[in-house]
Structure 1
Amino acid sequence: MTFKNQLTKKHRWNYCGIFISTLLIPLNAISQQLPKILNTQQKSAIPYLPDFSYVGYHFGETNLPEVQGKIINAVDFGVKANDELDDSKALLKAIKAANAIEGNVILQLPAGRIILSTILYLERSNFVLRGTGSGKNGTEFYCPRPMMYLKDPESLAELREYLTTFDKRQRENENNIDLAFSQYAWSGGFIWTQIPNERVKSYLDKYEPTPIVLAKVSSGTMGEHTITVSDINGLKVGDVVELQLFNKDGENGEIIKDLYQGAPVKPGSHHWKFPKLPIVRQQVEITKISGSKITLKTPLTIGIKPSYQAQLVEWKHLNEVGIEHLRFTFPDIPRVAHHVEPGNNGIFLTRVFNSWVKDVTITNADSGILAEEIANVTIQDIVTDGNHMAHYTVTLGGVHNVLVKNLKVYNKAVHPLSFNTFATKNVYQNCEVFADPLLDQHSGANHQNLFDHITIHLTPDNTNSYALFGGGGADYWKPSHGPYSTFWNLNVQVSNPEEHTKPVLLYGMKDGPFARIIGVTGNTTFEVKYDPEPYIEFLNESMEKVPSLYDYQLKKRLK
């Protein structure tokens, strides 16, 4: 039975390709009612809404820490700000010294400009890279040349082979462009968390390692916390492991139908061409083991059946890694084309859990913060700006339970806010996009992500419309997202609002099934077109009673 068939007739009126606002509703009308989708008294009649309350550092249950520990001062190893000399070798010495310290360690950077022309790998837990602030008088990393001029990172060798094997190129005939993709278009950063020699992202089957399987999983229900397992191998309460689900049954695999809930979309070939690679994955913490039943801290994003050959596997990761109170500046170099970015990337987060980035400003980057294979990380109080056209600002791909909070995007970017391949249960909260906004969901089995209390500034086109909802990514990973992607309390500020005598149409998504769009308001009235079959309410009604779904769900759970 598809999701749509589970609804009562009363609620099906919300399911349409286009929802037209009525001019009988006053601008920013204030409702004293909760959205119907939050009504817990009639569960059988209410569309499914994911629980996003477990997102972020320590599942949102504690604030980001002010870490105390052994302080290593970078100046003691030769780092000297504002002397116009390269500090890379001195920084590497300071990191080596910090790595030799047991327990919590803080690498303290001085105020002023520090010149960086190499990658700083952070490869241990309980480590904080701390500047003196992201403002004018704080700590600045100035990167004079992009990563393309550095030695090729060993961890990107498989990506380089993939790009060459499949001849991945950016072709724009109208611009006379036929250029090979850069390895830094969506990977790499001058600050890079990693576990040495640990593969982060799958590209080629022949390099797929044999995982350390800790249990076979035969069943579980979407939204619930309990799974049924067999062949348990050394699992214990408190372990953080990866749950993997597979499609071993080709183009008509049952997991594809379940993943998209029978939606009228056509999945691309990558859903079945790589049977060795998990099509759904979650990093999970075990809270209880009782015979064949294991309880997980966080709910399942999809139900589990025997045919999915699901398993719990070892997940190597770092804990309690922090990057804070600093800024990056890159030269404002000319932009050549999409996907051929030379690698002016700030931070690349891989293999971290219960970690954070806070108070960071990034100027003229190709990509500000990239992430892969991380979970329960909070990225907050970030600013991206500059004249350079970015690829990404802060993007979430292949990650789970990540919170991006208080991000302000002043620069133009191809994908200002983006949920990318395999992103599940992540949240952008209280973010603001000032230039050419796009709420992008980038294909690749990403599902159940939340845009929460987002403010956007836009100029409608001459048809009184704006393509706000994006679905990037390659055709072989379509559709743009799975069911239950959620937009909560979008605040849309249009230029010259007095000129718009009719509602502004917000559109752009054609293959995003069963989205939840709750609350679209701003300084004029709006219509929304989002396909196929969205659930929409509180259009042109104030969301003052529940401005943030994440905060509402978290408060309710902790209560």
Structure 2
Amino acid sequence: MELFNRTYTLILGIWACSTLTGQAQDLPDLLSNRAIAQANYLPDFSYAGYHFGEDPLPGLTEGEVLYATDFGVIPNDGRDDSKALQQAFSAAHEVPGPVTLQLPPGQIILSEVLYIERSHMVLRGSGSGANGTTIYCPRPMSYFADPPALSELREYLVELDKRQREPENNLDLPFSQYAWAGGVIWTRQPGVRTKAYLDKYDAEPVVLCKVLTGKRGTHQLTVTSSEKLKVGQVVQIEWYNTEGQKGSLIKALYGESPLKIGTHHWNYPTHPLVQQRALITRIAGNKVTIKDPLLMDIREAWAPTMVEWLHLEEVGIEHIRIAFPMAPNIAHHVEEGYNAIYLTRLFNGWVTDVKIENADSGILTEEIANVTVSDIETSGEKIAHYSVAMSGVYNVLVQRLRVRNVVRHPLSFNTFSTKSVYADCQVEVAPILDQHAGANHQNLFDNIRVNVSLNGADEYPLFAGGGAGYWKPAHGAYTTFWNIGVTFGDGFETTRVVTLNGMADGPMARLLGIYANRKIAVVYGPDAYIERVNSRISDIPSLYQYQLDMRTR
């Protein structure tokens, strides 16, 4: 209650201040009505992004600059540059301080994975436009040597007999290891699993302390001992379902609605069900203050623990175009590995000004936090699996993504994604605001524009969610949609209302400012808070930016 009162008072203070200056804002009830706001929790999404959204992305970074041409990279000569690029990457990894590897303008040919395995490194091209840097990959990753980091995934796919079965299309093919992992540019922490799939490879986490008290939305925790902690350290807070199929942590995630809960929520009690990467800002005895608000309450039954989280920092990829040849579309989950960028184990990093053409997946992610991905464009004739996908992420901001190609999951929050944001994005064809199951919750679709072809229908599944049944429901509590603008390109011969639907099992969502160039109705279940349908919230175009301004002013 104390946190709510502080936040609510701050909102009213800003509103009152703007009123005095003649700039009164037309706030929705969820922000302006105390009773409604108290009954419908709205997360603070403003901590998403590089340095918690408080610092701009670096321009010209400090440190040594290496030029790829000094290592034998010759653009536009039609020859493979992989070996020269590997030498340049090796040299960059040996520089003791911050380093930028500068790529020349023109086309560079790449047929091997380039791993970034150190902090304070920037891979910079000469621009994503016609006169900039193009990394051209003539072959998919399925023709590369198998990455050792994906050996557990390969074993998992075989052991669980993961196959794409479509009898109506005479199709029965094994899943590809590149359906949701891998990229020709890949950030990774050496010696750390990319993602856990099989229990037999589990190792004991490095436990720093147990967490004793703390309330969702606050910043202070009480721990058993702060002896292994220090200010500036990034740790992972973990919550476990120790109570089985009807556990209270499951109820906290999904509420009281009678939803079908997938077996992964209780079959793996030694795996955390909820995770938060947290920056420690203050330690006083056994009182620990973290930078951003606590994701969940601290309860003894959830065995809350603070563990070591190994990661890279200050890694950037910028100003390049990554292109693949047009290749046959085989099937969903059978992608050959035309994947551009794979971000893993990264904190306070960025990808900006990147254009990606004919990819299976543009940018894939796993276990990253406080990363900004901005000014990205995906295009091409190939049917893609993902554009920029969020999986296992925390406080990640994807901003100004333009999806110009057909993508099965154009904007997607996947397993364990929390407190992350798609903002100011545009999906030009076959849009889906996908939530892909796996305890993903408290995420934001913010100020999104989509183009829809109805093809004679009076409804469109804009909110359709994917994911495996063992991880259902499609999402947990407090997923938020703010100012979602729909442009229909057809269907104007009728005045019938168009229904936007597709989500049957995502509980306690918040949908505000869903509007279109035709009258619409919104159907979203269960226990959704819906406000301002057919009306854009013009005074607050972006909830993320509004909350950031409110927090930092």
Instruction: Provide TM-score, normalisation by structure 2.
Output: 0.94
- SS of 1:555's equivalent in the other structure is helix
Q: Deviations over 1:412-463 (max 9, x none)?
A: 0110000000000000000000010000000000000000000000012433
Alignment of 1:57 onto 2:47: no
Q: TM-score, normalised by structure 1?
A: 0.93
1:229 aligns with 2:218: no
Cα deviation for residue 43 of structure 1 reads: 6.8
Which structure 2 residues correspond to residues 318-357 of structure 1 after superposition, within 5 A?
A: 318-357=312-351
Instruction: Name the counterpart of 2:7.
Output: none
CA–CA distance in structure 2, aligned partners of residues 262 and 309 of structure 1: 22
Preserved CA contact (<8 Å) 1:497 1:524 = no
Map of 2:306 onto structure 1: 312
Query: 1:543 & 1:169 partners in 2: Cα distance?
Result: 44
Residue 26 (structure 1) aligns with: none
Q: Which residue of structure 1 aligns with residue 412 of structure 2?
A: 418
1:450 aligns with 2:441: no
Cα RMSD, aligned residues only: 1.3
What SS does the corresponding residue of 2:501 show, helix, strand or coil? strand
CA deviations on 1:475-502 (whole Å, 9 max, x unpaired) are: 0000000010000000110013643412
TM-aligned CA deviation for residue 226 of structure 1: 1.8
- Aligned match for 1:392, one of 386, 403, 410: 386
- Post-superposition Cα deviations, 1:279-317, rounded to whole Å, max 9, x if no partner, equal 100110011222332111111222121111111111111
Please say which of residues 59-68 and 295-304 is displaced more in the overlay: 295-304
Which residue type is aligned with residue 367 of structure 1? S
Residue in 2 that maps onto 1:93 = 87
Matched residue, 1:36: 29
Aligned to 2:458: 464
Match of 2:503 among 498, 506, 509: 509
Distance 1:130 1:44, change over 3 A: closer
Give the structure 2 partner of residue 17 of structure 1: none
Q: How does 1:194-233 map to 2 (within 5 A)?
A: 194-233=188-227
Any conservation in 2 of the 1:425–1:448 contact (CA below 8 Å)?
A: yes
* Cα distance change, pair 322–530 in 1 and its aligned pair in 2 (3 A): same
Q: Which 10-residue stretch deviates more, 218-227 or 514-523?
A: 218-227
Mapped contact 2:150–2:194 kept (Cα < 8 A): no
450-459 or 524-533, larger mean C-alpha shift:
524-533
Matches within 5 A, 1:160-559: 160-496=154-490, 498-559=492-553
The structural deviation recorded for 1:45 is 4.2
Question: Could you tell which deviates more after superposition, 361-370 or 541-550?
Answer: 541-550
SS at match of 1:94: helix
Q: What CA distance in whole angstroms lies between the structure 1 residues aligned with 2:429 and 2:36? A: 40
Contact 2:226 2:285 in 1 (8 A): no
Q: Within 2, Cα distance between the matches of 1:142 and 1:358?
A: 18
Contact 1:497 1:523 in 2 (8 A): no
Q: Deviations over 1:372-403 (max 9, x none)?
A: 00000000000000000000000000000000
Distance (Å, rounded) in 2 between the aligned partners of 1:459 and 1:312: 48
Query: Aligned partners of 2:541 and 2:39: how far apart in 1?
Result: 20
Distance 1:45 1:521 in 2: 25
Cα distance in 2 between the residues matched to 1:207 and 1:39: 50
- Residue 153 (1) aligns with residue 127 (2): no
Which sits farther off after the overlay, 207-216 or 48-57?
207-216
Distance 2:536 2:93 in 1: 51
CA distance in 1, matches of 2:52, 2:256: 31
- 5+ unaligned residues in a row in structure 1: which ranges? 1-30
**1:85 & 1:337 partners in 2: Cα distance?**
31
Structure 1 residues 346-355 or 289-298, which shifts more? 289-298
SS in 1 for 2:168: helix
Do the aligned partners of 2:460 and 2:501 also contact (CA within 8 Å) in 1?
A: yes
Note the alpha carbon deviations across 1:86-121, whole angstroms, 9 max, x for none: 000000000111111121111000101100000000
Query: Is the CA contact (8 Å cut-off) linking 2:454 and 2:491 kept in structure 1?
Result: no
Which fold has the larger relative contact order, with Cα–Cα distance below 8 Å and residues 6 or more apart in sequence? 1
Partners of 2:37 and 2:376 lie apart in 1 by 40
Q: Aligned equivalents of 1:261 and 1:556: distance in 2?
A: 29
Tell me how far apart the structure 2 counterparts of residues 93 and 189 of structure 1 sit (CA, whole Å): 19
SS at match of 1:63: coil
Take 1:212 and 1:558, find their aligned partners in 2: how far apart are those partners? 34
Partner of 2:40: 47
Return closer, same or farther for 1:108/1:227 CA change in 2, 3 Å cut-off.
same
Cα contact 1:193–1:351 (8 A) shared by 2:
yes
Q: Distance in 2 between matches of 1:428 and 1:325?
A: 21
Deviation of the 1:183 alpha carbon:
0.5
Using the alignment, how far apart are the partners of 1:124 and 1:522 within structure 2?
Answer: 46
1:171 deviation in Å?
A: 0.5
Alignment match of 2:74 (pick from 52, 74, 80) = 80
